[in-house]
Amino acid sequence: MAEVVIDRVTKRFGDVEAAKDVSLTVPGGELVVLLGPTGAGKTTLLRLVAGLEKPDAGMITIDGRDATTDPPALRDVSFVFQQYSLYPHLSVYDNLAFPLRAPARRVDEAEIKKRVERVAQLVRIDHKLANSATRLSGGEMQRVAIGRALIRRPSIYLMDEPLSSLDAKLRADLRVELKHIQADLGATMLYVTHDQTEAMTMASRIGILDRGTLVQVGTPHEIYERPVNAYVAARLGSPGINLLPIDALPAKETPNGAASVGARTEHVELIAADDGPAEVIMVEHLGSENFLHLKMNGHRLVTLTPPDSQWRPGRRARISLHQPLYFDAAGRTLQTAH
């Protein structure tokens, strides 16, 4: 495991700045997740660390060594892509063993066998080692691809949406397993996703990207509870934070300069009232709870309610906010007394 430092890195593609003066440290043994929508610059940063792109400015150091201009092969990184790219003519065993058989590495077969078996157990594919790589389900193929990355002990593992091609259930299982494997190995990992659940549940720290700029870095708790601006606030939370103009809801102790309010479901209290300004327009079942969609003075709100609550479309309510977030006209979070 090694520390990776991205220092004031800029990368342009024509007129587009895919990375703008980005500085980020991935400490040894940590799993840092880069989160942002398509086009935010997540994959570009990953590719810069891998050496698949060269920065226009700035420096990248791996384990204290300047790697900015090193070709990928010299950087000692492992890359897992969204699309599992296995060797179709090889067995699962040989796919896993492949990185160790590179002529430069000279690992003997007994050692290879030991490591393949250990990794196969880790990614739970040990019962299919003799299978041809093409005779696996999508989930199994992706586990082999992750296993092939884990077979080496590089300075850093780079993962580009490794779970996004899998179905929901398998994604949920692999999320927990991958986090566990990373912690067990003490591996350094830089992980790119647009899935907030993956970011929240796996990351030691999350970096939020907005059109090439790294807006905030923090633990999932910090990002969720103390976002620096409305953009960051909207990246995490299910249902998403309700962003409303400041005069949309009656609020107490509004800080100076507040232009909008950000109300997460835990900030919203609904009080049933026939003359209330808000109207329930839809109840969306999740099973464990409901998403309640409300309409109020032309604004929409979504909040969580218990499944046994009596809210139905057409019912009216008053809304009371408890310690919501406030943003200024530029979207920056305002400090409040609490």
Partner 1 sequence: MAEIRLDNLQKRFGDFIAVRESSFTIADGEFFVLLGPSGCGKTTTLRMIAGLELPSSGKILLDGDDVTFKRASQRDIGFVFQLFALYPHMNVRSNIGFPLKCQSVPRREIDERVDEVAKLLRIEHLIDRPVSGLSGGDSQRVALGRAIVRQAKAFMMDEPLGALDAEFRHLMCVELRALHDRIRATTVYVTHDQVEAMAMADRIAVMNHGVVDQIATPQAIYDRPRTMHVAGFIGSPPMNFLRFNASLEPGADSIRLNGETIAVPELQEGVVDGALALGVRPEHVELVDEGGIRGEVFGTEYMGTMQIATVHSKHGVVKARIPSAQRVRMREQVGMRFAKERLAVFDTVSGRALKSRLFEGGAHG
- Residue 282 in the binding site for partner 1 (CB under 8 A): yes
**The dihedral sign for the CA sequence 194, 181, 217, 17:** negative
Least Cβ distance, residue 264 to partner 1 (angstroms): 8
Nearer to partner 1, 102 or 183 (CB): 183
Kind of pairing between the strands at 205-210 and 31-35: parallel
Nearer to partner 1, 5 or 199 (CB): 199
Please give the Cα distance from 301 to 195 (Å, whole number).
Answer: 22
Least Cβ distance, residue 38 to partner 1 (angstroms): 9
How far, rounded to the nearest angstrom, does the alpha carbon of residue 55 sit from its chain's CA centroid?
Answer: 23
Tokens of 53: 């792109």
HEC profile of 71-135 = CHHHCCEEEECCCCCCCCCCEHHHHHHHHHHCCCCCCCHHHHHHHHHHHHHHCCCHHHCCCECCC
Please give the Cα distance from 189 to 206 (Å, whole number).
Answer: 12
Q: Write the interaction track for partner 1 spanning residues 209-248; mark x where CB under 8 A is met and - where it is not.
A: -----------xx--x-----------xxx----------
Least Cβ distance, residue 250 to partner 1 (angstroms): 24
- Residue 264 in the binding site for partner 1 (CB under 8 A): yes
**Nearest Cα residue to 147 out of 104, 100, 206, 192:** 100
Nearer to partner 1, 59 or 234 (CB): 234
Nearer to partner 1, 167 or 247 (CB): 167
- Residue 312 in the binding site for partner 1 (CB under 8 A): no
Please give the Cα distance from 86 to 89 (Å, whole number).
Answer: 9
Q: Which of 73, 307, 329, 336 binds partner 1 (CB under 8 A)?
A: 307
Q: Write the interaction track for partner 1 spanning residues 166-195; mark x where CB under 8 A is met and - where it is not.
A: -xxx--x--xx--xx--x----------xx
Least Cβ distance, residue 219 to partner 1 (angstroms): 9
- Residue 284 in the binding site for partner 1 (CB under 8 A): yes
Q: Are the CB atoms for 120 and 126 separated by under 8 Å? A: yes
- Residue 102 in the binding site for partner 1 (CB under 8 A): no
3-class secondary-structure state, position 334: strand
Please give the Cα distance from 331 to 201 (Å, whole number).
Answer: 26
- Count of residues touching partner 1 (by CB under 8 A): 36
∠ at Cα 109 (106, 114), nearest 5°? 115
Nearer to partner 1, 5 or 35 (CB): 35
Binding site for partner 1 (CB under 8 A): 167-169, 172, 175-176, 179-180, 183, 194-195, 197, 200-202, 220-221, 224, 236-238, 264-266, 281-282, 284-288, 291, 293, 304, 307, 313
